Homo-oligomer: A and B are copies of this chain.
Amino acid sequence: MEDKAQIQEAIKSQGEVVRKLKSEKASKEQIDEEVAKLLALKAQLGDDGKTQFVLKTPKGTRDYNPKQMAIREKVFNTIIRCFKRHGAETIDTPVFELKETLTGKYGEDSKLIYDLKDQGGELLSLRYDLTVPFARYLAMNKITNIKRYHIAKVYRRDNPAMTRGRYREFYQCDFDIAGQYDAMIPDAECLKIVHEILNELDLGDFRIKVNDRRILDGMFAVCGVPDDKFRTICSTVDKLDKMSWEDVKKEMVNEKGLSEEAADQIGEYVSMQGGMDLAERLLQDHKMSQSKQACAGLSDIKLLFKYLQLFHVTDKVVFDLSLARGLDYYTGVIYEAVLTQASAVSAANEAQNGANAEESVSVGSVAGGGRYDGLVGMFDPKGRRVPCVGVSIGIERIFSIMEQKAEASPEKVRTTEVQIMVASAQKNLLEERLQLISELWNAGIKAEVMYKKNPKLLSQLQYCEEAGIPLVAILGEQELKDGVVKLRVVATREEV
């Protein structure tokens, strides 16, 4: 594309692509993307000497402005405080891993992994989650016991839906307990943590669904699903939160080749929800009780509920046989938290997008996790297993909700913590201002000064109001003579 005529031709045809999309009323994102390509082509031409760059962030990513960062910091602080309260240490791993470290861990989703260009040296990929790097870290350092949290960005070449908080670069907040312990004690703590965090963040009512991979597998077995179809049928069940049972059944029968009878039996089980009582009933169920696996899972669910009662969190927890979770590596208990109360703002949002607000009772998963006892062993040369259980907080959705809340609130989000502004009432007091602010900084006080020799008092006061700075120290010649500083409370104009 070095040749000008060639570029001009490309611009022409790209222009048509954009026009066509617009006439078809394609999605804004799709149009934006094609417009970006067009601008890039025009920039290559560069004969107007102006637009040399397309000014944007990569698809599916965003900058955080100071206001968003203030909200993000608040959410992180709540989460980290909870993780620390539960005695977790923290680790960090590189943003990229050897490509082979990620190979074979994500099933079909592997196609969403970002690879780095081969510039000579190792083949690298951006991390897809924090769990696989954690397992690699444990195996590499031969760690058999740790309780750690890890908050960092992960990368997925997925179709972004940024208004719903789905990005290609996004944060994960993971808490995991690794080690050989007595059943369900660490698992219960993970659920307690989800409960504490969602309570503290005050996002409205929520529900934590719980199930067990062994119960699912046992159920598939007793319903007559062939062994080699467990995983694929499991991922179809996982779609029950987005699709009706009829459509799920259709997929099982028509696409996955399951018998109608087996599908119907599954359908009966996956409609069940309850608590410890349901686990007890299923242990007596003449079919379910034939599966050793299912029984092991059901007994553990009972135990889990017993511990959750001691933690006083059973009000939010439901044993739900339709919960499957997508990832391959889970081996035991799995769980997922959903907000059940569409907040006013998000309901309005859904309505805008043409969805029925009535339907949007569940605004989607905000936390999830489970037990994965086999993953670390995949990295260990001798296959030594390190049992793990963990939870990941879906922070981007939470950011979205908090941002909408902040927008809707009349209260202003402060982006700095400045306590005092050093101002002057007359000209030629820059030196005095600098001297005073230096003393304040040295005393650990958060302070600002305007970077002008002779700023107007009014503009200094205005700056305070805009930035929400509560106090202003006003220097004047008379005060300097008297050896005092006038302090004014910005909101009330009170002076001392």
Q: What residues of chain A have their CB less than 8 Å away from a CB belonging to chain B?
A: 36, 40, 43, 50-59, 61-66, 69, 72-73, 84-98, 100-101, 114-119, 121-122, 124, 126, 136-137, 139-141, 146, 148, 153, 155, 157, 169, 177, 179, 181-182, 185-186, 188-189, 192, 196, 307, 310-312, 378-379, 381-383, 415-418, 430-431, 434-435, 438, 441-442, 444-448, 451-453, 467
Contact = CB atoms under 8 A, between A and B. Distances in A.
A447 B87 contact: yes
A177 B116 contact: no
Contacts of A93: 57, 63-64
B43 A100 contact: yes
Contacts of A36: 122
7 contacts: A57-B94, A114-B119, A119-B157, A185-B430, A185-B451, A189-B451, A192-B441
Would you list the 10 A-B pairs with minimal beta carbon distance, nearest first?
A181-B451, A66-B89, A61-B94, A87-B448, A115-B117, A64-B92, A185-B451, A310-B434, A55-B140, A89-B415
A61 B57 CA distance: 25
Nearest to A167: B94
A445 B85 contact: yes
B417 A84 contact: yes
Given A84-B416, A177-B451, A431-B310, A90 B114 contact: no
Count of this chain's copies in the oligomeric assembly:
2
Contacts of A444: 85
Contacts of A445: 85
Given A383-B50, A431-B310, A447-B85, A141 B95 contact: no
Given A55-B136, A101-B53, A65 B88 contact: no
Contact of A438 (B51, B192, B442): B192
A117 B124 CA distance: 10
A43 B99 CA distance: 13
Nearest to A84: B417
Contacts of A52: 378
Contact of A418 (B64, B87, B95, B157): B87
A470 B103 CA distance: 44
Given A185-B451, A448-B87, A312 B438 contact: yes
B55 A139 contact: yes
A446 B445 CA distance: 29
A182 B124 CA distance: 47
Given A66-B89, A179-B451, A451-B186, A122 B58 contact: yes
A310 to B, nearest CB: 4
Contacts of A43: 100
A430 B58 CA distance: 52
Given A84-B416, A116-B117, 10 more contacts: A55-B139, A57-B98, A59-B122, A61-B94, A64-B92, A65-B141, A66-B91, A84-B446, A95-B169, A189-B451
B116 A91 contact: no
Contacts of A155: 95
Nearest to A181: B451
Contacts of A90: 66, 69, 73
Give the most central of A96, A114, A383: most B CB within 10 Å: A96
A395 to B, nearest CB: 13
A86 B441 contact: yes
A416 B451 contact: no
Given A117-B116, A311-B434, A438-B311, A62 B94 contact: yes
Contacts of A177: 451
A34 B118 CA distance: 17
A32 to B, nearest CB: 12
A76 to B, nearest CB: 12
Nearest to A36: B122
A36 B140 CA distance: 14
Contacts of A51: 381
A137 B63 contact: yes
Contacts of A116: 114-117, 126
